[in-house]
Structure 1
Amino acid sequence: MARTVIIEEVGGPEKLKLADLPVGEPGPGQVRIRHKACGLNFIDCYQRSGLYPMQLPHALGMEASGVIEAVGEGVTHLKVGDRAAYAANPPGSYCEARVMPAAQVCPLPDGISFEEGAAMMLKGMTAQYLFHRTTPLRRGDTVLFHAAAGGVGLIACQWARSEGITLIGTAGTDEKCALGLAHGASHCINYRTEDWAAQVRDLTGGKGVDVVMDAVGADTFEGSLDSLKPLGMMISFGNASGPVPPFNLGVLGPKGSLKITRPTLFTHIADHDACQEMAQHLFSKVLAGDVVIRIDQRFPLEQVAEAHRALEARKTTGCTILEV
């Protein structure tokens, strides 16, 4: 049996329940992993609220780290006793132990702690696909990144700095802006006190940015389009302020023949080899010191509802983990 966080109906953080569930043995292509820590992400809130529908009841959580306890037939990249970390479907990482598909579970290097492993996989591989698998980015390009002091944001700031990319960040307080700057953002704009879209234009000499990376959604969408240079790329990869409402695709032409995409990490990591390659790239950044995984909040598993409230209220910075 393993303590596991589940929801039986959608709604607010109060819908999160702690249950004792059987774990079982791994079948072909599966592993059983005993968790050391679990990561917290906005997608967990979207699933809990019903924005991303799931068949209920269901366990929650998309990333964690731990030790492999058992390996099913056909699994060759992991063995019993291996340190491992993952971001993967199906949800269910908020638990002490679980049986799950092995393809997206990655061997965790000794130089990376379990806490870092739990905090970095979903956010770090998101940064990897944003910078390397979505649209060509070169040294000297300029990126606008919303929520620059969040979990993905602080990784993205460091990733951009390590590759000679100018990153203009936005955040909701002066303290969060200072965090973004300390982690590699070239500029960071307080969106609550400044006209951030006008500031982006000023910072780019009126040209706009090459790429916008936007996980905020509804609140920033229009301004993000207006911040792009002609032929620029809008990457909408989250909905922290709510989903982007329907819009007229025709506006992209007059605004400069803009491009737009709505990617998900889980499309990029669906292939085993691609997932392992992305994870290795992320691990290399962390081991080289180019990216430091900042964990600013820790909650025991039984306080998961408080963790969700803090995340949704934008009271967190960096990464948040659940201690098992």
Structure 2
Amino acid sequence: MNYDVIIIGAGPAGMTAALYTARANLKTLLLERGIPGGQMNNTAEVENYPGYDSILGPDLALKMYDGITRFGVEHGYGNVTGIEVVGAYKKVMTEDASYLAKTVIIATGCEHRKLGVEGEETYSGRGVSYCAVCDGAFFKNKKLIVVGGGDSAVEEAIYLTQFASEVKIVHRRDALRAQKIIQDRAFANEKISFIWDSVVEEIKGNNQVVTGVQIKNVKTGEKVLEDCDGVFIYVGLDPLTEPFVAANITDEAGWIITNERMETAIPGVFACGDARQKELRQITTAVGDGGVAGQNAYQYIESNQANFVSE
């Protein structure tokens, strides 16, 4: 099972990279452990992607996937456990199989960071969620807590108001970090209120479902128990790069280090999208990264043809 390119991750970066490599007539395998789309599948509405006033994240993911399949990209499922350099080739290992390729593009993205408080793991899936699109409909006429103050937290809080009776946003500061236009919508929404300068210390429940959260004011130290039926957490992102740490291509936090050509420290191994060490993580930047990675993977193969054994 030899390929010109193996792309690990089928989010917007990985699918764009696959589009470029497949159009360059490279034999491409797109490896994913879930459904194509990555974090787009957890996004209610995308309003900052060119060409659309607004589009549901899962719908955009499907359109991207449909676009690459017509160019012959192979789509495989597998949980990647690591990569190795084997002569001029790269070996990609999964739990079930191994693959050889001339180049590898890592586009594994990131995941929502956990709070790490008591009750979070216990009530995960029973009132604790990281995806409003996935779970919002389960909370009709319920009271919800959203933790965070960035774009994702505020956007998802707004989304949840179509189901919940009320939504309270808990933020550790006294001002939101979300874009101004998103803030304005939240402040204008009658169902949304704010608990400022506060953090969630514990998620309470009745051994079956969430019943409330213990909140601490970081300035006064005052603790309050807020009744609620669900907690949606948006406090940052962590890279999904654990299988590649041993390859010494990440920083201390696990983000993959690349140059502007998306090249890592290993020749022939590229990285793109949210798994990269960079400032802005958006669908648009992931798509841009993917195009650069795909094109430079093609150029790498063209420049190193003499090193590859004829198949």
Could you state the TM-score of these two structures normalised by the residue count of structure 1?
A: 0.30
Q: Comparing both chains, which one has the higher relative contact order based on Cα–Cα distances under 8 Å and sequence gaps of 6 or more?
A: 2
Q: Say which one has the larger Rg.
A: 2
